[in-house]
Amino acid sequence: MAVHAFDKKIQGLSVLVADKNQFMRRLTRTMLMNLGAKSVIEASDGLAALEAIRTCDPDVMFLEWDLPVLDGMEVIRIVRSPGVFPRPNLPIVMLTTRSNRSQVVQALRAGVHEFLLKPTSPKALRDRLTSILLKPRPMLKLGEFYVPQPRRIAAPPADQADGEYVASDAVSAE
C-alpha cells in the first residue's frame, strides 16, 4: 500500500497538546500517534504550553480554551505576537467544549487555524491536520489581529434563492 503525502507529513510532526485534563491529553495523544505522529508533547496549563513552544518547537498545537494560569485565548494572544513571540505562525487548533458561535468566532478572530469540539475523533483530528498541512494559509495582519489568511467565501449554490453566503472562517476586520 502506498503511503499518502499526508501520512508522510504527519509522521514527522511534533504536536503540542495543551489541556488541563490529563485524560483528554492522553486520549488526544493516543489518537495523534495512531494517525502516525511520532512526537506528542503535553502541557497542562497555558504557561507550560508557551514554554513547550519555545523549547520543543512543535509543528502544530491543539489548545484547550479553559486552561489554568493562562487560558487558551491568552496563549493565542501571546503566540500571535510577531516580533515578540518566537513562533507567531504556529498552526493552532482550538480543541474545546466551548461551542457557542460567538466563542468560535472569537477564537478564529484571535488566530486559530481550526476549531474542533470535544469529544473528538481520530477522523476529525486527521481532517484538521489535513487542512493545516495540505492547504496551508499564510499569516497576515487583519485589523489588530494576526491570523491565518481567511478562506475564500463560497458562492451559494445556484438553487439557493435566499442569497446567503457561507464562509469557512468567521474572521473579519470588524
User: Which of the four pLDDT bands, split at 50, 70 and 90, describes residue 127?
Assistant: very high
Q: How is domain 5-167 classified at the CATH fold level? A: Rossmann fold (3.40.50)
| pLDDT reported for residue 42 | 98
Region 127-140 average pLDDT: 92
Radius of gyration of the chain (CA): 16
Residue 19 has pLDDT above 90, yes or no: yes
| pLDDT reported for residue 141 | 92
Short-list 57, 25, 30, 28, CA closest to 42: 25
Grid coordinates standing for 122? 481520530
Paired with 167 in beta bridges are 153
Contact 79, 88 (CB under 8 A): yes
CA atoms of 147 and 118, how far apart (whole Å): 23
| pLDDT reported for residue 150 | 87
CA atoms of 27 and 22, how far apart (whole Å): 9
pTM: 0.84
32-47 pLDDT, tens per residue? 999 999 899 999 999 9
Q: What residue ranges do the domains of the chain occupy?
A: 5-167
One-letter amino acid of 10? I
Strands 153-154 and 114-117: unpaired
